[in-house]
Amino acid sequence: MTILTKNERETIALGKKFAKTLKGGEVILLIGGLGEGKTTFVKGVAEGLGIKKNITSPTFVLMRVYLVKKSKKQKNNPSAEFTLSDPAKGGGVEWAQGDKNEEANIKKLVHIDAYRGLNVADLENIGALEYFGRKDTACFVEWGEKLEKLLKKLKLNYYKIEIKHLSKSKRRFIIQNLNY
């Protein structure tokens, strides 16, 4: 699915809406160049999960773990779908709710930066692999394109989100849900 956002506010809103689809156990690979909106999208996801902390890129620390502090289980909607308005008229995103709500119990958002070419051993050394596939965790990996082979080998369900900077503030998101 392809979604256009026209500004930072819409990118954050897209992240918030994406958070509502998460059940726990997902690994989300964020692919795009410098300044494409990867961290901004994760900020929106964090807001959607109720995380109040300032979300910054984990470039220098490699991994940040944020606790989701909700007293009740999040009501997420895995059957929700994106509805797109006409891209020729500027894109835009609407959210259509499905009929079924399922309880999600995400307790941690893990934000990893693989920009420096982290390999599987590096990810293991920083403890990142321990979070992959955990039902209480959603993992977001910036620059994660090199992890696809590993995720397939581990038979983990994952999302691949490609982000492309189209103009000063406009972004194109191509979201693929890859299940194994």
Q: pLDDT of 33-77, one tens digit each?
A: 998 999 999 999 999 999 999 998 887 788 999 999 863 444 544
Q: What percent of the chain has pLDDT over 90?
A: 58
Task: Look up the CATH number of domain 2-175.
Answer: 3.40.50.300
Per DSSP, helices labelled H in the chain are 8-19, 38-48, 120-125, 148-153
pLDDT-derived band at 114 (thresholds 50, 70, 90) equals confident
11 has which bridge partners?
none
- Confidence (pLDDT) at 77: 45
Using CA atoms, how far apart are residues 5 and 50, in angstroms rounded to an integer? 22
Q: What is the pTM of this model?
A: 0.81
The tens digit of pLDDT for each residue in 68-101 reads 986 344 454 443 444 333 334 444 444 333 333 3
State the chain's mean pLDDT as an integer.
Answer: 83
